[in-house]
Amino acid sequence: MPVSNRTKNQHLLWRSAFGPMAENAASLDSISTKNLWSLLVKTSAKPVAKIEVTQNPIDDYMMGTANQKEMQKKMQSPEMRKKMREKSRDDIKTMNIRWLETMVNSEAQLREKMSLFWHGHFACRSLNSYHAQELLHTIRTNALGSFADMLKAVSKTPAMLAFLNNQQNKKQHPNENFAREVMELFTMGRGNYTEDDVKEGARAFTGWSFNASGEFVFRKNQHDDGIKTFLGKTGNFDGDDILDILLENKQTANYITKKFYRYFVNENIDEQNQQWLSNRFHKSNYNISKLLEDIYSSDWFYDEKNIGNRIKSPVELLVGIRRFLPMQLENDQSQIIFQRALSQVLFYPPNVAGWPGGKNWIDSSTLMLRLRIPQIYAANDAINVKPKEDDDVQMGMKEIGQKRAKDKVKGTTAIINWQAVNSVFEKTGREKLLQAISASVLQTKNHVSNTVLERYINNSSRENYIKSAIINLMATPEYQLC
């Protein structure tokens, strides 16, 4: 049975964005996939609006202090350090919600989806909210541009340099952490370099640092300017040289395109398609937009085997629900509680490898909550959930809240615009209504039995029928897939 035009378009929207929005969902039967892709590219081509919630702490707290020693003394006082930690925690919460709202409402869906991908690829946890903010802006600005430019820009952010300990990487006392992770996680992948490459790379990155204003600084007196041999090349290399050598190596294009394929196409990689992508990505000088076009313009992307086979991440799930069910939330903090309980909190990856994804998103507790979320929103229910205490995700959790035993938000009021949702199906006759709703909500080949659904649907009016059908479909295991 051929894949319908609607299914193809929804497949494109779920993989390149966060699913269909109620206001344009009705058009997905008629618009061509090619035109939809062009629209996604066009709406993400505008200049990036910075998500700005904080200023450099020095600017906030110095209050006109010009003396450098006095400034440093003030910044190191226990009272000031405590105040700055508390402010950073609050700022990161605000930034989390602001970015989530952007994912829901922005026209630049392709850019925001790619930014979420790179947020996991360049995984970083910073206790300095200003540094976290600037790293996010770097990622969002470069998300559709050149991977080479983004790699170099991200590698010079204070957030990443601090997270990977390059502040401690100095001549005669090299710290290998930054160099190792750049190779293992950001570029080539494990198995394509030696321990000697790590040591030599670390020497080249000595002196890469940042100042109190959050600006990259090359400290020449801390840099090892001796001859290094890295990946078979010898020279007086610095950090930029190392990144250039990594980008020249085809293993970097191979590693990145494998990650793209697993994330955007299928966890089971078709080697022929992936190698084609890798070769073109390398030849294009790492043009991200061209790589995405190669994926989303290929017939094989829309093969039935690639549709409805991917488990939505918690953020994709939350954003996707809110796009199809436009709503106003009384308590924005509930979204952070959902993220915590489902093990994906923006700005708090579990470690430098990022979120593992796939089946790791699902266990007995997270699945039950996932199935309840649509009903919680629709019924203005309360959240009463306990974040996990026994996994590495907990490393970040203590930084965003003090209630360790249980989080509860009473009256999670969500005012859903059901009129906008009903309009999606206004031209659909009653006899085909459930079929149309199922096709709009689910991406899986095997939909929930209509006979089973009819038992739980409210037949009192057309509006209630649509409402109850959507909520019940969103509360199924099938909705967890896209």
What is the mean predicted confidence (pLDDT) over 306-326?
Answer: 98
**Cβ atoms of residues 27 and 4 within 8 Å:** no
Residue that the structure tokens 């995405």 belong to: 292
pLDDT at 399: 45
* Better-scored residue on pLDDT, 118 or 393: 118
pLDDT at 405: 40
DSSP annotation string for 412-481: --EEE-HHHHHHTTTTS-GGGHHHHHHHHH--SSSPPPHHHHHHHS--SSHHHHHHHHHHHHHTSGGGGB
**Cβ atoms of residues 20 and 28 within 8 Å:** yes
CA dihedral of residues 238, 244, 248, 251 (deg, nearest 10): 80
Q: Indicate whether 288 pLDDT > 60.
A: yes
**Cβ atoms of residues 284 and 291 within 8 Å:** yes
Kind and range of the H or E element at 376? helix 364-379
**Closest listed residue to residue 183, CA positions, set 167, 170, 171, 196:** 196
Q: Indicate whether 151 pLDDT > 80.
A: yes
Q: pLDDT confidence of 449, banded at 50, 70, 90?
A: confident
C-alpha distance from residue 87 to each of 195, 197, 221, 375 (Å): 40, 40, 34, 34
Rounded Cα distance between 33 and 302, Å, is 10
Rounded Cα distance between 108 and 113, Å, is 9
pLDDT tens digit string along 19-73? 999 999 999 999 999 999 999 999 999 999 999 999 986 665 555 555 656 666 7
Residue that the structure tokens 């983004």 belong to: 150
What is the mean predicted confidence (pLDDT) over 313-334?
Answer: 95
Percent pLDDT > 70 in the chain is 89
pLDDT at 383: 57
pLDDT, mean over the chain: 92
**Cβ atoms of residues 119 and 78 within 8 Å:** no
Give the burial string for 412-427 (b: 16+ CB within 10 Å, else e): bebebebeebbebbee
**Cβ atoms of residues 281 and 298 within 8 Å:** no
**Cβ atoms of residues 255 and 224 within 8 Å:** no
**Cβ atoms of residues 193 and 382 within 8 Å:** no
* Angle in degrees, 0-180, between the axes of helices 288-296 and 271-283, rounded to the nearest 10: 150
pLDDT at 37: 98
Rounded Cα distance between 138 and 160, Å, is 11
Q: Indicate whether 164 pLDDT > 50.
A: yes
pLDDT at 393: 44
Q: pLDDT confidence of 396, banded at 50, 70, 90?
A: very low
pLDDT at 80: 79
* Angle in degrees, 0-180, between the axes of helices 68-76 and 78-105, rounded to the nearest 10: 80
Rounded Cα distance between 83 and 289, Å, is 42
What is the mean predicted confidence (pLDDT) over 271-279?
Answer: 98
- Global pTM value: 0.94
What is the mean predicted confidence (pLDDT) over 6-13?
Answer: 98
> In this structure, what token pair is assigned to residue 416?
């859903």
Residue 180 CB contacts under 8 Å (≥ 6 apart), including other chains: 198, 201, 202
